[in-house]
Amino acid sequence: MYYDFWVEEIDLKLMEKLGFQASCYVSEFRDWGSYSDAKKENDLAGVVIKAGNMKEFRTKIREFRNADFIVLDSRSEKTTEMAVKLNAVDAVTFHARYPTIKKMAEKGIAQIINFNDLLNAGDKAVENNLKLMQRSVKLARKYGAPLMVVSGAKEKMECRAASDLIGFGELLGLTAKQAKDALTVHQEALIKRTKLKDEGKWVRPGVELEDDTSGSFSGGLV
């Protein structure tokens, strides 16, 4: 079961053909209302937060903190570092270096490897992007940070098959198993969290409500 967690135009039939179980509609929304409309149409909806500085990030994250999947798309290392520190996002696109990626591993924030950065880049940018991606993969493997390989498709024809994204992961230096995990593990955790949120059982990271099966209160001080 593979998941593509960054698609801006979803065609369910095509996604099934390409070998995906589910996909997440991700876009940069202006307000919570437009996000809610997108959420009604799709099982999962994510938000891309584009922020150049911390002030901009704070104002945007306040509105979308209850979204299913939050991605920080920032070119600023400082903003990424602070967002990771605050544990306010699920994934980052900035190719983080040592101290940040270690914190990402501790907090379970994923490093995104976006195939679209390669597909729509110029000749020189492709080389640079490949270099950064390879460095990110190397560091994520070293410190155990979660990785997400996504197609980042802006239109239907930019979607790519699961097997090709696995091959892309292997090209960047992952083993076959790690490349497959990059399309499943973190995504499944996010789907599980969304289900709990919808049922009203999710409180905050690490705190979930469980059904009381015994019928009596068993906690508290004795």
Partner 1 sequence: MAVRRYRKRYIVFKSESKSEVEKEKVERAVLQSTGKLLGFYGAGRTRLRFLPQFWKKNQGVLSVDHAEVPKIKTALALVTNVGSQKVILYSTKVFGTLKKIKKMYGGKLNGSIT
Binding site for partner 1 (CB under 8 A): 14, 17-18, 115, 118-119, 123, 157-161, 163-171
Residue 182 makes CB contacts below 8 A (sequence gap 6+) with 113, 147, 148, 149, 169, 174
- Residue nearer to partner 1 on the CB measure, 59 or 163: 163
How far is 171 from 210, CA to CA, in rounded Å? Answer: 42
Q: Distances from the Cα of 64 to the Cαs of 36, 141, 184, in angstroms?
A: 10, 30, 24
Rounded least distance, CB 130 to partner 1, Å:
9
- Match 């009596």 to its residue by tokens: 216
**What are the structure tokens assigned to 169, written together?**
């992961």
- Residue nearer to partner 1 on the CB measure, 75 or 131: 131
How far is 169 from 147, CA to CA, in rounded Å? Answer: 10
Rounded least distance, CB 141 to partner 1, Å:
16
- Residue nearer to partner 1 on the CB measure, 64 or 115: 115
Rounded least distance, CB 8 to partner 1, Å:
15
Rounded least distance, CB 90 to partner 1, Å:
25
- Residue nearer to partner 1 on the CB measure, 171 or 203: 171
